[in-house]
Chain A
Amino acid sequence: MPSKRFVSTAMVLLFTLSLVLAACGDTPTTAPAATTAAAGAATTAAAGAATTAAAGAAATTAAGAAPAATSGKKVSGEISVYLNSYYDPTADKETADVTAAIAKEYEAAHPGTKINLVAAVPTGTDLETWLAARMAANQSPEIMWQQFGTRNQRASTWWLPLNQYLNAPNPYIAAGQPGSAKWSDSLPDYVLAQTKAPDNNWYQVSLDWVETGLYYNKDIFAKAGVDPTTWKSWANYVKDMQTIKEKTGVSPLGMYIAQQGWSNWWWVDDMLLTANWGDKANDFYLEKYKTAAAFRQLNPEEVAKAIIEGKLNATDPRMDNYLKMSKEYVGLLPNDYTSIPNLDELDPLFYSGKVASVWTGTWKNKTYAKNIPFNYGVAYLPPFTKDDAPGATGSAYRVGGPSSAGQYGITQAAAKAGGGKLDLAVDFLHFLSAPQNFGRMAKAFGGYIPMVKGSQSGDVMAGFQKIAELPERLFNDPDGRLTVESGNKWSQAMQGFFLGQTDVATTKANLQKVWMDGAKSLCTAQKYDWCK
């Protein structure tokens, strides 16, 4: 029948059109929640994040000079910019509107320019796939976010070293303010030290840092008679968590260990290694990386050198205590801790009362405030005492750092493109990172502490200021200690130990092999002068 034929022809045409449109779209959309979660993956720490913001704010007030609206440099053309959680209209329209307004201000001040804000890209390992394809084809956004551990691995194959720009003025910072003479001065020293790649380059500017905390169900804790404010030591904390399990039958802690990639178990791993090796920190530090902080995080070169020189050895007796504490802690986790696929999958367990607490990051603030159906609080972990671990320094350690949404670099695609794209990308990154602009974005999002001097954190972050004042971890997440591959192998060796596949001696030998292979691999790649 003609009408039937018409309908079927129309359907075929519609289907074909949809295929063509789908193929033409170059900006895939993904779940916004996952995007923010990706921002929190793999963290490092540094002390004094909160104080930086305050000090910077004071400096701005004192000087009072107005920031420039343009750099005076002629720029034109069009660039794409991916800003992670700061521009994700589906997940957080308020913040996205602020960011879009800043981009519009830039375009208005620079006629002939166009800033395309990329709304959402795939997350986690999918992002790596997405980026790998675009980097290979020189079609990535000109300004792009990537997790700091992996970006340092990709280094100059994907990213443009920013050293020369960081040493030059940021024209959008008011005269007399930190950063106006030398862009890097707008960021604290510990941020610069922490984000430097193993080859001594900076591939991204670290405009904000993340914090973490133990979000807990007050009702379950009260039922078990546990009060987090009374925790005096790690042993005390672990015992209380075991009490929760005994009295309520609920898994006390929402954490998981992935075989591949980041998991929030890595935070525990960092802590326990730090507790057991903390007293040896000065033996590992290299003079050339010395900062004002007495206790800071080791960078990959320092870890590699310590391993190769035998100062840091996984077969050391200290690792017996590390493994004992790790196994004890695993007993607090949900029974499928080795198969929970990502951090967001812990939320249903937490919301439904199947776990009493979740150790997660501040990027969850808004989501939790909106969705948690019970009274909840945020606590933090207690100090490690000498009784907990002989190498402990008597402190709790901060888990936070440059794994937030404000980590932006300029891709090699911009450098190779010509046509003024690189100039435009550098100029817009200057503009974006000036305190009067980035501060607005950080305040609207409220999930990260801005690191740009002169910008202030929003009210939501106020509760994390105490945590931000703690000393940082000695050890970074496994993928940031040496290489991404050695990080994954470390996780797999620990999984094998927890699941009873390897005993203590074998596990120590396996971990030492992972460390030594990673150190040698880093040596080969970076050709440090001390490498033989």
Chain B
Amino acid sequence: MPLKSEPVEVNIGPQHPSTHGVFRMVATIDGERITDVKMIVGYLHRSMEKLAEERTYTQNIPFTDRMDYLSAINSNLGYCLAVEKLAGIEVPERATVLRVIFSELQRVASHCMATGAFINDCGAWQTPVMYTFRDREKVLDLIEMTCGARITTNYIRIGGVAFDIPDEFLPALDRLVNDDLPQRFDEYDRLLVGNEIILMRARDVGVVTPELAINAALSGPMLRSAGIAWDLRKADPYCGYDTYAFDIPVGYNGDSYDRMVIRIEEMKQSLRIIRQAVHRLPGGPHKTDVPLALRPPAGEAYARIESPKGELGFYIVSDGGPAPYRWHVRAPSLINLSVLKEMTVGQTIADAIVTLGSIDINVGEVDR
């Protein structure tokens, strides 16, 4: 005889240890099973798109730092590419290679954070997150060495990068990329990838089918876990990514576990790219001179990059003035949340937390 039960509404967030910021899910549950999910965002909304309309193109770069604060350099890069496309600015070769190096470093840092936080959502008592934080710190040290900031870097500028690398950067990068991080990633393989409890917790949890993934415009590890080999670095190469040799790791099932393993593999691929980029780092200027009050011709441009979260796009409309007429961000974190309901309904609360962790949202980017 089925027990009579009554649906209960549970607020998960905005102040909850596992919602990765001020994200709120209102879950209707029956026992421990979720029957309905409403997501409520906007607690971190700063109306950047409106603010940007009153600032010059260069002044808008710090906003991109504060969107996805875990991968600020990637956000900088996407925005600068859009402006350069709009204004037709050529970037020196050295700056392009430096952009590749730093955006891949930032990808490692962001994926470290994502993996650690995901395992924490699976219920580990902070240990994996401490391990991944340790590696993220090393990457952030390098970023700090170059541009003085660790999180909100404001490093990539229109027409190049803000600073050239210091002399001690390349030896430190060499140590990190060839000694430290490969060892750490092997450690992750042993500690996390084959872990039975993580397999039990994350396999078949938060499944997205490939059809749904394309229909809902998912991107990044979410799309790749569903078995679709799609990476903008290959598909729509920017910064000369088509000249680097690297692979796209692709999952089979579209579940949380695949997303975690894909992130670990992508970190290894990022190291491959960095190694190649260091070898081809040319001399020359690290930026072109761009007027501070840049006035791109009237028109519009959409530039997109593969950020750690997915496809990060910037749509900029110019009316010929010094400030963008319209500045829209295609935020991968927000669009990846479109399928939250499909992924979580029917699961338990514990699974919903794991699923949310595997999406790897960043509320700064969701709300903007």
Do chains A and B stick together as partners? no
